[in-house]
Amino acid sequence: MIIQKTYTATDVHVAGQAYRIVKDGPFVHYQSIQELNEQFSLAYQEEIKLLLNEPRGFAGLMGCLIVPPFKSDADAAVIFFDHYGTVPVQYGGIVAVITALLECGQLKARPSNVYRIETINGVVSVTAAIKDGEVKSVKLKSGSCQVVQVNAPVSYFDLNTEVSLVQADHIYAIFDKAELPFEIEMENLPVINQWGQKAIEALEGKYAFSRVILLDHSQKSEGKIKTVTFRPDRYIVRSPGFGTLAACSSYLLRNGDISAGSPIENESLFKGKLRAEYSAQIETSYEFSFSARGFITGMQTYLLDPTDPLFAGFLLK
């Protein structure tokens, strides 16, 4: 074997969403996190494929590159990326990063429990509760979320329904599961997948969206909802999703289905759970605070052998 490059990574999952955290990368000159973000897709192209593509990764894996902070009031700076380049701030990624830094001893615990992570959207403040060296929970606030359209008609083959659009970290198209003859459970995965593909095809070219949510709010009076979220490439998001939860909470608040004082817990198809509490309303926008926990699942060293015929990897979706 010829070893051309090596990278060490810490894997963390947050409610089912997996993040691969790396701290070593090519030496690239940059003066700000914005400049690093602009250079990332080209300068780290080989690393993106090596670390996220199969056989070392998979389609749903997200990357986090940690670098020293540029701002004096931040503890670390992070760039989030997927298989195609950098992506906006990932709330789950921040939970994963702060968990890895604290549990691996790269960030010392503080009596205040408050830490600050620099992102391309600014510095995000989080509160991390630690007990016996373990990060038990991380709290952080969302950006503003706004319902932009409700009950828009959708008709496509036998799908005749309505969709509502919510702007959170993505534009979410929310469908009500009440009309459908199946439950959001693993044993119904084939029919859920078929429904998701049909819903995406129904929206394409008609509405701007970047995620599709199937929402079961039959237990909203108990502070619980269930969702399954699809990306436009038909991939099912593994986590209940911070953005999904914020979008659904905004939608339910807007319709008067839940009260502002009631926390909401979202359960994913894969039984991952996230909890959100209403934080503030500014005109027609809502803000929420999240509470989540990350779990370190592995620490690995990844190698690039230039004689490997699949050195660039591949993706199955």
**Mean pLDDT estimate for the chain:** 95
**In this model, does residue 244 exceed pLDDT 90?**
yes
Beta carbons within 8 Å of 1's beta carbon, 6+ residues apart: 303, 305, 307
276 neighbors 264 (Cβ within 8 angstroms) = yes
Give the angle 148-225-144 at the CA atoms, nearest 5°: 35
Encode pLDDT of 162-213 as tens digits.
Answer: 999 999 999 999 999 998 999 999 999 999 999 999 999 999 999 999 999 9
Is the pTM here over 0.85, yes or no? yes
pLDDT of the residue at 296: 98
Per DSSP, what are the bridge partners of residue 138?
A: 128, 292
Q: Is the peptide bond between 55 and the residue preceding it cis, with omega within 30 degrees of 0? A: yes
Q: Report which of 237, 236, 228 is spatially closest to residue 177, judged by C-alpha positions.
A: 228
3-class DSSP assignment, residue 96: helix
Looking at per-residue pLDDT, the higher value among 304 and 174 belongs to 174
Encode pLDDT of 110-126 as tens digits.
Answer: 999 999 999 999 999 99
**Residue 11: other Cβ atoms inside 10 A:** 18
Q: Tell me the angle at which helices 45-52 and 33-43 cross, rounded to the nearest 10 degrees.
A: 70
Q: Is the peptide bond between 68 and the residue preceding it cis, with omega within 30 degrees of 0? A: no
pLDDT of the residue at 29: 93
**In this model, does residue 18 exceed pLDDT 80?**
yes
pLDDT of the residue at 2: 79
- How much is the average pLDDT of 9-29? 94
Percentage of the residues of the chain whose pLDDT score is greater than 70: 100
120 neighbors 34 (Cβ within 8 angstroms) = yes
**pLDDT band, residue 280 (cuts 50/70/90):** very high
**In this model, does residue 317 exceed pLDDT 80?**
no
Query: Residue 208: in which H helix or E strand, if any?
Result: none
pLDDT of the residue at 25: 82
**In this model, does residue 1 exceed pLDDT 80?**
no
**In this model, does residue 252 exceed pLDDT 80?**
yes
- How much is the average pLDDT of 14-24? 95
